[in-house]
Structure 1
Amino acid sequence: MRRFLLAIAFLCGALPQVQAGELQDILQIHADEVAKPSRRSVGVLLDDLVASGLPQVPAFLEEWAAKNVWRAPDGDFVFGSPDGDGLEVRDVDTGQASSAGKEGYSQIKPNGGVRRVIGTALVQFQLSDPDPDRRRSALEAISRRPEAAQLAPLRASLEGETDPALLARKQQLVSFLSAQFAETTDERVAAISSLSKDTSVEARSVLNRILSTREGVAAELPDANIARITDASADPDTFYGVLTAEGLAPPVVTDAEIRTALEQNVAGGSSGGVPVARLNDPEIRQTAYAQLAADGLVPPLVTIADRDAALAAHVFFDAYDEKDPAVTAAAEEALASVTQRVAWEQAADLGLDALSLASIYFLAAIGLAITFGVMGVINMAHGEFIMMGAYTGYVVQLFVPDYTLSIIIALPLAFAITFGAGVTMERLVIRHLYHRPLETLLATFGISIALQQLAKNIFGTQARPLTSPAWLDGAWVMSDVIQISYIRIAIFVLALLFLALILFILKRTRLGLEVRAVTQNPGMAASMGISPDRINMLTFGLGSGIAGIAGVAIGLYAKVTSEMGADYIVQSFMTVVVGGVGNVWGTLAGASMIGFLQKGIEWLNPSNTLAAQTYMILFIILFIQFRPRGIVALKGRAAAD
């Protein structure tokens, strides 16, 4: 009787404004639907719940979808959760909790389809929830499963949205839903046109869904939104197979099937009116089979002419699932625009990757450019100075847990350590081997092996972490296509700082003046009171110190191991030789050329990076044949050598 009176009151408008505390009354009106919900009929209940405006509704929908709604022995609906052998029940209106036994209580278990419908209704409340995380969750739910019913509440939530990021996301989703589900063609076309500048994966997915097609075949072109008509003559056997699969033409009889049919219809030493002895000829077998088909004993034989005639009598087409031609035309135009933009953005992203790689090569090679260019020393241990710098950063972080401060300390410390190591190496070994390049190469190669083994003995063979500060985590995302990590940006900025610093030292300081003098004419420089021996020592130390700083920067991006220097020594020499020995601008040009060339080859052959490096080396060999002094040739001693 209670449910009957409530239903009469509800239908007669006696409850035009349902007040807080009356959710149970609405549930009782639809008690059967709550207890045994059906996807087809649950909409009426959900509409009444949404229209009520009760603050308890969102919580009820969440609990209902989570299967936490129970029906009490007296018929009321409550929230319940197992509590030992009993239940902890809460009133759906007041939330008042109490304990009860499970006897007489029945759990409501809506199926997956009903839960999806409930989730759609729940989104309407979550879109305007005071909690930004709940609003964000609602938007994620919409993006995962877009439906036409979500468009209206999503539009309504725009006005009250205070978070700029969530507002932008809502506007984007409104465009996506409008493009697919808006009521009028003009609205859909306008929404689709707005997506022509959106290169996100979601936007492209929306356009592709609108342009989804189905294959079809018919005697005449149907009245549908046709995407394209296919020429069956390009592959007649495949398209005839489509006809037979659709039951529009008899299947092709294979030679094996012809043989079997003839064997099964042998009578009196012949089959199909042809003696068995003559059935070795394929054409005669077809003639005999045709006679059996004429007698109705076997399926008809499909000849080439029959196949071509059947194909000519039918039209093969792809039809859009979307029936409105104006919508698909707008989607085609928008997708073409997006595809073009994506291509440009991919080129820009490839350029950023190449620029980042070039900055890494520049950092690794600039120290070698100074020592090799000024002194003519082939230093095979240059990579190990990079490794020493990286390990210096690792050790500093062991004692300074603040990663930002540790990097600030590690950079000058790495320079000091590798500068000292470079000076020591020059004084003990290199100074005795000037103008003996082969012996210098062998000596420095031996030092390289010794330094690697020393690093293994101290730090082990396992890669050590050189952690970047938190503000370098993540990437700068300009679009779904263009993004670059903050570490790569930091390395690029560091490379620019080094370029400016080295140019300042070489052009504006006395040391730079003396280095340039010794580089171009050591004899004249010595007659002017400059000590070439001292300049060589300082130059080698400077180049080694710069390698140490480069090691700290590279260690933030790459693994720190005893062999890490070997990963960069070959590229460093190529950078110096291609750019021009002993020239800062040449090193920059060489790093840029190698970085862009390597990324370009990797883009053409992304599955094989080793092949990309091989092609790059071959290209560089050819380049040196035509320009042996590099991109920026240097005059003086280095050029003569």
Structure 2
Amino acid sequence: MRLLIVCLLAALFAGPLRAETAAEILSANAGLVEKASRQSIAPVIDALGASGDPMAAEVLAAWADKRLGIRKADGVFLLLAPDAAGYALRDLTGAAAGVAARSEVTELKPNAGVRGMIATALVQFTLSDPDRAKRAAALESIATDPKLEALAPLRAAIEGETDAALKAQKARLERLLTLRFDPSSEARVAAITSFGGDLGLDLRGALNPLLATKRVAAATEPAGNIARELRVGRDLSEVEAYDLLVGAGLALPRLTVEAERAALVANLKDGAVGGIAVAELSRQDARDRAYSALEVAGTVPQAMTDAEAKRAVSDFYFYDIYTEADPAVTAAAAQALKKIGYKVDVMQAADLALDGLSLASIYFLAAIGLAITFGVMGVINMAHGEFITMGAYTGYVVQQFVPNYTASILIALPLAFAVTFGAGVTMERLVIRHLYKRPLETLLATFGISIALQQIFKNVFGTQARPLTSPAWLDGAWSLNDVVGISYIRIAIFVLALVFLMFFLWLMKRTRLGLEVRAVTQNPTMAASMGINPDRINMLTFGIGSGIAGIAGVAIGLFAKVTSELGTDYIVQSFMTVVVGGVGNIWGTLAGATMIGGLQKLIEFMNPSNTLAAQTYMILFIILFIQFRPRGIIALRGRAAGD
């Protein structure tokens, strides 16, 4: 008999208990399901996800899509499909269950919050879906709303993943969930250290909550993972400390001056309050004693005076305690974030240098034409910015006729050079050549031309910004990591600046035109006696400088708004670049652009909320720089330097 009982018990407990089916879970929680809310439905959704029922995923999906209903006659949950008679029904095993009129079925309509919870529960079923897009969407869903429940199915889905990129993404996400939710301290610490010097924002987003703290007050050292002990007056004020005591129920609310005065006035009898004469109530200590007497008598509510609050604070200790209970985990997280912080600082410096170099290339491209007209010829051309604008508008016009953005940019670059070259030659022939060696008159004349050109642009193109669209291959940015990155357009402008640097050096050092330009610049009379036509050289030089400004306009227009005032945003920086670098020296222009671009980005980094102040500081610095080095960074030597 005893043996029979043992065998029966063994048979009873030999196998695992049968898991509930989706139908049983829904039936047992019918009331919650029918009136589902985000606050109450989570246990039901979690139970469906963990049930192991092959129909669980379909049931959850149907619920989210409003294809789950309850038959009014017997309260059975059914899957719904539109039908001429109302609904075609299937039970929760997938078998057909006939049809029903719409009036016979209560259609479940979960709100957005419940649908979001269902979507999270469905993630575990889609992690191994044959469709790669669905697997990727499941990973994104887990990353957006990480939960402990996703850890086990995520681990199970890694081994069978066939896509290398998704497999790496799953493995990374598994480590992120492990360091937050795994019950094993060793596993969490190992997951933290496995990232090394990774700078990913997702890693920092997972580590930072591990170091979150809450402030507590206690009469003795509290239990828990203590981050640090707080000193009143150094780490927190006396008011903050007492508020902690009140919040923890360790002290009575503080008595305010207004409440104390009102209580004393209300309890004034026979010229005294609480046995203290009114004449004595001019002192705070007397008012406190009077209020304490009223407390003893039960006339007023219990409260703490300032003196009592100060004494109460001195009787307690105050701590920051980690919300994470495991000290090993917080120590590993703190060490990891410290290493990441050092690396982030280095990467931010690199990113700042890259931004400065990018801005320098823009300024150099805008100033290289001015380096010719102002630096070489000595002509102060205040309309140089309008040649930049003219080039940008040329690019815009080309794109109206050539819809292919790559082809339109390739056409716009030489066309902008031709248009602005022609405009520059026309301006030199009609105005500039009559004003050589008269800088003030040249400045005033070109300033007037600048205003006139701006008005012409407004009349032709209007005051609205016009789009100059970059090709698709220039969209996006090159990113080294989550800290260092630069847009492809900026890289293209940097390359274009280098091309024109090489072009200028070739033009001035390797061509007859360059030789003649240098000769006319140094001594026009001697150059004329050698058969060089100074007027022709001046015209071509001014035209080339204007043409390069037009190409700069196309490049700048790819990321800036193309308006009639586009050039005015760069004319000041262009002049500063040429003057600071050294008038008449292309290497000086390059050095000046690098200095101004880097300096502006550095000032903006130190004062990011006020770009106008950054520009002001930069101009002040340049004024001081010129006081000490009036000829610029790289000054001309020889006869040209004396002109």
TM-score by structure 2 length? 0.89
Structure 2 partner of 1:171? 171
1 CA distance for matches of 2:49 and 2:179? Answer: 26
Alignment partner for residue 425 of structure 2, among 423, 426, 434?
423
Structure 1 partner of 2:59? 60
Compute the RMSD of aligned alpha carbons.
Answer: 3.1
Deviations 1:518-576 (A, max 9, x none): 22333333333332222211111110111111111111111111221111111111111
TM superposition shift of 1:59: 3.2
Greater Cα offset, 127-136 or 157-166: 157-166
1 CA distance for matches of 2:161 and 2:384? Answer: 58
2 CA distance for matches of 1:460 and 1:295? Answer: 82
**Letter of the aligned partner of 2:67 in structure 1?**
N
Alignment partner for residue 40 of structure 1, among 23, 38, 43?
43
1 CA distance for matches of 2:296 and 2:80? Answer: 76
Change (3 A) 1:468 1:266: closer
Aligned positions of 1:355-504 closer than 5 A: 355-504=357-506
TM superposition shift of 1:75: 7.5
Structure 2 partner of 1:215? 215
Aligned-pair identity (%): 61
Change (3 A) 1:277 1:91: closer
Aligned positions of 1:47-446 closer than 5 A: 47-48=50-51, 50=52, 54=54, 57-71=56-70, 78-81=78-81, 86-89=86-89, 100-108=100-108, 118-234=118-234, 235-289=237-291, 292=294, 306-446=308-448
Change (3 A) 1:145 1:526: same
Deviations 1:21-65 (A, max 9, x none): xx9x955555614755564356555434x3x5x4x5533331133
Structure 2 partner of 1:5? none
2 CA distance for matches of 1:114 and 1:260? Answer: 51
Instruction: Report the 3-state secondary structure (helix = DSSP H, G, I; strand = E; otherwise coil) of the residue aligned with 1:197.
Output: coil
Q: Does the 8 A contact of 2:29 with 2:44 survive in 1?
A: no
Q: Does the 8 A contact of 1:42 with 1:114 survive in 2?
A: no
2 CA distance for matches of 1:535 and 1:564? Answer: 29
Q: Does the 8 A contact of 2:363 with 2:597 survive in 1?
A: yes
Q: Does the 8 A contact of 1:381 with 1:444 survive in 2?
A: yes
Change (3 A) 1:404 1:43: closer
TM superposition shift of 1:434: 0.6
Structure 2 partner of 1:8? none
**Letter of the aligned partner of 1:186 in structure 2?**
E
Deviations 1:346-379 (A, max 9, x none): 2222222211111111111000001111111001
Q: Does the 8 A contact of 1:196 with 1:335 survive in 2?
A: no
Q: Does the 8 A contact of 2:477 with 2:488 survive in 1?
A: yes
Deviations 1:227-280 (A, max 9, x none): 111112442233123223433234444444444444344444333444334433
1 CA distance for matches of 2:442 and 2:113? Answer: 77
TM superposition shift of 1:88: 4.8
Instruction: Report the 3-state secondary structure (helix = DSSP H, G, I; strand = E; otherwise coil) of the residue aligned with 2:159.
Output: coil
Greater Cα offset, 60-69 or 289-298: 289-298
Greater Cα offset, 113-122 or 256-265: 113-122
2 CA distance for matches of 1:218 and 1:437? Answer: 79
2 CA distance for matches of 1:172 and 1:208? Answer: 17
Deviations 1:562-603 (A, max 9, x none): 221111111111111011111111111111111111111111
**Letter of the aligned partner of 1:457 in structure 2?**
N
Greater Cα offset, 277-286 or 410-419: 277-286
Instruction: Report the 3-state secondary structure (helix = DSSP H, G, I; strand = E; otherwise coil) of the residue aligned with 1:544.
Output: helix
Q: Does the 8 A contact of 1:374 with 1:638 survive in 2?
A: no
TM superposition shift of 1:95: 8.8
1:629 maps to 2:631: yes
Change (3 A) 1:33 1:259: closer
Change (3 A) 1:566 1:114: closer
Structure 2 partner of 1:523? 525
**Letter of the aligned partner of 1:65 in structure 2?**
A
**Letter of the aligned partner of 1:524 in structure 2?**
M
**Letter of the aligned partner of 1:136 in structure 2?**
A
2 CA distance for matches of 1:297 and 1:45? Answer: 59
1 CA distance for matches of 2:344 and 2:171? Answer: 21
1 CA distance for matches of 2:265 and 2:599? Answer: 68
2 CA distance for matches of 1:457 and 1:295? Answer: 87
Structure 1 partner of 2:541? 539
Q: Does the 8 A contact of 1:289 with 1:301 survive in 2?
A: no
TM superposition shift of 1:181: 1.5
Change (3 A) 1:381 1:158: same
2 CA distance for matches of 1:508 and 1:637? Answer: 21
**Letter of the aligned partner of 1:600 in structure 2?**
L
Instruction: Report the 3-state secondary structure (helix = DSSP H, G, I; strand = E; otherwise coil) of the residue aligned with 1:79.
Output: strand
Q: Does the 8 A contact of 2:49 with 2:122 survive in 1?
A: no
Q: Does the 8 A contact of 1:385 with 1:548 survive in 2?
A: yes
**Letter of the aligned partner of 1:386 in structure 2?**
I
**Letter of the aligned partner of 1:365 in structure 2?**
A
Q: Does the 8 A contact of 1:389 with 1:418 survive in 2?
A: yes
Instruction: Report the 3-state secondary structure (helix = DSSP H, G, I; strand = E; otherwise coil) of the residue aligned with 2:341.
Output: helix
1 CA distance for matches of 2:80 and 2:494? Answer: 59
Deviations 1:67-114 (A, max 9, x none): 312345687754324568823546766698986422433334568887
**Letter of the aligned partner of 1:59 in structure 2?**
E
2 CA distance for matches of 1:373 and 1:62? Answer: 71
TM superposition shift of 1:163: 2.8
Runs of at least 5 residues in structure 1 that lack an aligned partner in the other structure: 1-10
Runs of at least 5 residues in structure 2 that lack an aligned partner in the other structure: 1-10, 34-40
TM-score by structure 1 length? 0.89
Q: Does the 8 A contact of 1:390 with 1:554 survive in 2?
A: yes
2 CA distance for matches of 1:472 and 1:263? Answer: 77
Deviations 1:290-335 (A, max 9, x none): 5555666556785766444422321111111111110110011111
TM superposition shift of 1:115: 5.6
**Letter of the aligned partner of 2:50 in structure 1?**
D
Greater Cα offset, 247-256 or 369-378: 247-256
Instruction: Report the 3-state secondary structure (helix = DSSP H, G, I; strand = E; otherwise coil) of the residue aligned with 2:478.
Output: strand
Instruction: Report the 3-state secondary structure (helix = DSSP H, G, I; strand = E; otherwise coil) of the residue aligned with 2:130.
Output: coil
Change (3 A) 1:563 1:85: farther
TM superposition shift of 1:66: 3.0
Deviations 1:446-479 (A, max 9, x none): 1112222222222222211111111111222332
Structure 2 partner of 1:3? none
Greater Cα offset, 592-601 or 238-247: 238-247
Instruction: Report the 3-state secondary structure (helix = DSSP H, G, I; strand = E; otherwise coil) of the residue aligned with 1:40.
Output: helix
2 CA distance for matches of 1:466 and 1:602? Answer: 27
**Letter of the aligned partner of 2:152 in structure 1?**
A
Instruction: Report the 3-state secondary structure (helix = DSSP H, G, I; strand = E; otherwise coil) of the residue aligned with 2:320.
Output: strand
Instruction: Report the 3-state secondary structure (helix = DSSP H, G, I; strand = E; otherwise coil) of the residue aligned with 1:572.
Output: helix
Change (3 A) 1:535 1:110: closer
1 CA distance for matches of 2:560 and 2:116? Answer: 46
2 CA distance for matches of 1:155 and 1:118? Answer: 20
2 CA distance for matches of 1:88 and 1:394? Answer: 59
Greater Cα offset, 495-504 or 85-94: 85-94
Instruction: Report the 3-state secondary structure (helix = DSSP H, G, I; strand = E; otherwise coil) of the residue aligned with 1:279.
Output: helix
Structure 2 partner of 1:4? none
Greater Cα offset, 114-123 or 512-521: 114-123
Instruction: Report the 3-state secondary structure (helix = DSSP H, G, I; strand = E; otherwise coil) of the residue aligned with 2:80.
Output: strand
